[in-house]
Amino acid sequence: MLPIKSKFKIAKRLGPNIFEQTQSQKFALSDTRFKKSKRRGRGASDYGRQLLEKQRVRFTYGIPETQLSNYAKVAYEAADPSTTLHVLLETRADSVLYRAGFAPTRRAARQIVSHGHVLVNGKRTNVPSFALKKGDVLTVREGSKKSPLFAGLAESEGRVVPQWLAVDRGTLTIELKGEPVYTPAETTLDYATVFEFYSR
């Protein structure tokens, strides 16, 4: 687990939206500096630019280098690599749980899944990277619904849920109605630059 202090340091380098803890007014100035540094960095090496974006993706989703590399290899073979990579990252069990508002952070979502609190199509899973697809249903295990992890979740509004998810807070159920769409409204990550890094 990364200490909060380390997260602040990483956010200053990669941008304040990397971690939920750095998405605050305190880091508004850092966001401005980050954007200015990107503009000033036009003369920087291609490798540096590509590495920076790759690290932004890694820390946003909290995944190891090997896992991101494997996702990129699969996505690169698709007709639309950027959209495919976005779908692979967003339809992980932990990402879906987070995006539905059932966990405050992606790290918390990973812990919830790894501790066996969720079912996918009625079957228990403890694999945060479990790949969901359209039509799949993720639910909180009956024995876990009274856990403090989900206390008050049914009454809370939580974050804005993307249109490709159908969320029932009463039954703590999430259904994938479709697939994520790679648009600026969905993410600010530049996957094309990530592919540039891995194609070196």
Tens-place pLDDT, residues 17-76:
555 554 554 544 554 555 555 555 455 689 999 999 999 999 999 999 999 999 999 999
Tens-place pLDDT, residues 136-186:
999 999 999 989 888 867 665 667 899 999 999 989 999 999 999 998 888
Q: Does domain 92-176 have CATH number 3.10.290.10?
A: yes
Q: Which single residue is written with the structure tokens 């590495």?
A: 51
At 94, list the tokens: 């932990």
In this structure, are residues 129 and 195 in contact, taking their beta carbons and an 8 Å threshold? no
At 87, list the tokens: 């779908």
* Residue 161: C-alpha distances to residues 23, 96, 164 (Å): 18, 10, 8
> Domain residue spans in the chain?
1-38, 92-176
Q: Which tops the pLDDT comparison, 15 or 115?
A: 115
> Is 75 buried (19+), middle (13-18) or exposed (0-12) by CB count in 10 A?
buried
Tens-place pLDDT, residues 96-124:
999 999 999 999 999 999 999 999 999 99
